[in-house]
Amino acid sequence: MDMPPRSTSPPHFSDAALMTLIRSTPLAICITDAEGRFQMVNAAYCKLYGYAEEELLGEEFTLVLASEHRDMMRRMHRAFIETGEDSDPLIGTPGSRAEWEVVNRQGKTISILAEAVRVEDDQGNVYKATFVVDISEHKTLERSLREANQRLTQIAMYDELTGLQSRHAGLDRLEAEIHEHQRYGQPLCIAVIDLDGFKQINDTHGHAIGDEILVGVAELLRQSLRESDAAVRLGGDELLLVLPGVTLDQATQAVERIRQALASTPLTSHSLEVTLSAGVAAYRDESQDTLLERADRALYRAKRRGRNRLAQAQ
C-alpha cells in the first residue's frame, strides 16, 4: 500500500485554535499590554499564582510582585515594550530571560524563570507575552546544596567542638606562614600545647566534662590571641598556636600569659582547675615537620619538669 506523501509545510491554525493551544498548555503564559495590564492569562498562570482569571484581567502585572520591586519592573516593562529588552541600569545587562521571585495570592514567595517576547497585533498595538516556569523546588534544592557545601567547608576548616581551626586547615595556615617568612623574613613562632592530666579528667568526670573544658580553653585562646594568630586543635587535647611576627621571647611571654590565665580560671560547672604545658619554637629555615618536632620535644621537657609550665625549643 502506498503511503501518502509526507508533508513538509507547517500547519496552518486559525487564531482561535492558537489561542486554545495557549490557554490549554501546562506552561504558564500571560500577555500584558503596553501599560502593563493583563490582557490574557492561561489556566496554568492562574494556578501558579492562585488567582481566578477574572481577578487578573485588566489588573497591572505588578500585582504578583513584592511591593519593593514594582517600580523597577514597571521601568523594565516600558523598556521592553519599546525595545524588546528588559534593560534597566540598576540591574545590569539587558535580556528577556531571567529568574525572579514573585508572590502568589497567599503571600508565598515563588521562584520563577520567565522569558518574554514582544508582539504586535494587526492594528500595531504592542504586547508583552511572558512564559513562566516555577523553579521553586530547584531553588530550594540549590540552597540546600549550597548550605551543605558550606557546612562541609566549615567541618573541613574548623573543629566542630571548639570552633578552632582543624588540623588540616591549621597546618595549611602554618605552611602559608612559613612561606611568608621565607619571602619577607618576618619572624614566626609556634607553640604546641597539651592540657595537663586531661585523660584523668575524662576518666573521672566523663567525656562531656572533658568537652566542656576544651570549649572553655578554646574561648580563652580566642580572647588572648591577636587576629593575626591562629589557634588549632590538632587532636584530643593537643593544640597548636601559630604566632607570626614575634620573636621566641615574645611568643613565650604570650603563651605564659595564656598559661597563667588558664590556671586562674576554673572551668565547667564543677569549677575544675586546669593547667597546660607548652613547647615554644621559633622557625629557623626548616621543614614544617622539623619545626613541629622541635616544639613537641620542648613540650615534653616541660611536662617532665613538673607540668603547668613552658619550655623553649632548642
Polymer length in residues for the chain: 314
Q: Among 47, 75, 51, which Cα is nearest to 63's?
A: 51
Which of the following is catalytic: 237, 249, 285, 296?
237
Q: Which residues of 247-269 are buried (b: 16+ CB within 10 A; e: fewer)?
A: ebeebbebbeebbeebeeeebbe
C-alpha cell, 136: 521553586
Sheet arrangement for strand 28-33:
38-41, 28-33, 126-134, 109-120, 97-103
Cell 616541660, located at residue: 302
237 is catalytic: yes
- Contacts of 254-259 with C-beta under 8 Å, sequence gap 24+, read 254/224, 254/225, 255/191, 255/193, 255/280, 255/310, 256/310, 257/224, 258/220, 258/221, 258/224, 259/308, 259/309, 259/310
C-alpha cell, 153: 567547608
Helix (H) or strand (E) holding 16: helix 15-24
Q: Among 289, 299, 252, which Cα is nearest to 174's?
A: 289
C-alpha cell, 257: 600569659
The β-bridge partners of 241 are: 191, 231
Q: Which residues of 166-180 are buried (b: 16+ CB within 10 A; e: fewer)?
A: beebbbebbeebbee
* Residues labelled catalytic: 237
